[in-house]
Amino acid sequence: MTDSPFQKTTLPGGLRVLTEHHDGVSSATLGLWIQAGSLFETARETGLAHLLEHMVFKGTKRRSMTQIAAQMDVLGGGMNAFTEREFVCYYVKVLSDDIAPALELLCEFATQPALDPDLLEIEKGVILEEIRAVEDTPEERVEDLFLSAMWEKSRWGRPILGAPKSVEKLEAADLRRFMGKFYAPQRTVLVAVGNVRHEKIVQMAQKWLGDLPGDQRSNAASPATPKVAAHHTVLRDETEGAHLVIGTRAYAYDDPRRFAAWALDSILTGGYSSRLFQEVREKRGLCYSIGGMSQSYRATGYWAVETSVAPQNAAKTAQLIGKELRKVKSEGVRAGELKRAKQMARVNLLLGEESSSAQMGRIARNELYFGRQ
């Protein structure tokens, strides 16, 4: 055995197993990450990756939906999943004594989902309600509109949840076809953090993930991103407020300049002393909150400022944001601002490392984007 808390093993099919052992804890966080997010859907399949993520909880070839729910309750650690543009992740936090049954269930999700057609129709209804909830939440809808405008006519700009017309037409055969192409070992990373033993996790992965259905020839690279042109999109509805997102294309995950984008996000919108919080809220009272978004992917990223204001203040607020951005471009940032941004980043990173879920995500993304830690 090695003395290092971090270990990595690549199985013959290409599946990677990564563990980080922590002494003095009685729990473990397990995450099964697969490069099978919404970017890999065709236009007709929009929303499929997210629907599939839901459907695996509705039964496997070995367990019914009720049995899965009962097992999740017994484990008690909160088993869940999420879908991003590049990845889908199935994860759970459990007591270390329960690692084996928890991991077995996660692996069943990825290898043996039942995809019952009747349950699929029911779950499509759940997804349609989720889509409607976003459409009725201006703060979420405006983000989708921003990305759709920036990455127009591209899979990058499609909403992860999908559109009602595409979700309604999806069938079990579509989900199986998608799994057969993208749920492949070379696209999969299993991460375990906490009171874990690497060799045991590897043995369980060999046993339960040996029959991943995906095509081993499937290319794991993310699709190329389109060029970004300036857009000005206005959607009028009956909400009382105006919701703004102003942003642009930013840096990929492997581009060191993304750290500068994070620092700029902090300087402009991070905390009470940030420029835009002071200018827009404190000095003029135009909004309650103003925040930033800085997101990086394998091939691209985006950076934006978002806020909600009274409709009559929308133009004025947009002008103030633009003015501050131009000021940064022409004058740069002050030394004190940069120092504060670095300290905030340090605090956030260190506090995040106290969460085993955050550690699991950090290990997975570093492996998937860089192939290293």
Helix (H, G, I), strand (E, B) or coil at 224: coil
Strands 188-194 and 16-21: parallel
| Token pair belonging to 192 | 């375990």
- 189: phi > 0 → left, psi -120 to 50 → alpha, else beta; which? beta
Helix (H, G, I), strand (E, B) or coil at 351: helix
| Token pair belonging to 18 | 């990564």
DSSP per-residue string spanning 9-78: EE-TTS-EEEEEE-TT--EEEEEEEES-SGGG--GGGTTHHHHHHHHGGGBBSS-BHHHHHHHHHHH-S-
Catalytic residue list contains 108: no
Largest CA distance in the chain: 66
Q: Are 77 and 141 in contact (CB under 8 A)?
A: no
Please give the Cα distance from 154 to 42 (Å, whole number): 10
Catalytic hit among 41, 45, 53, 108: 53
Question: Which residues are marked as active site?
Answer: 53
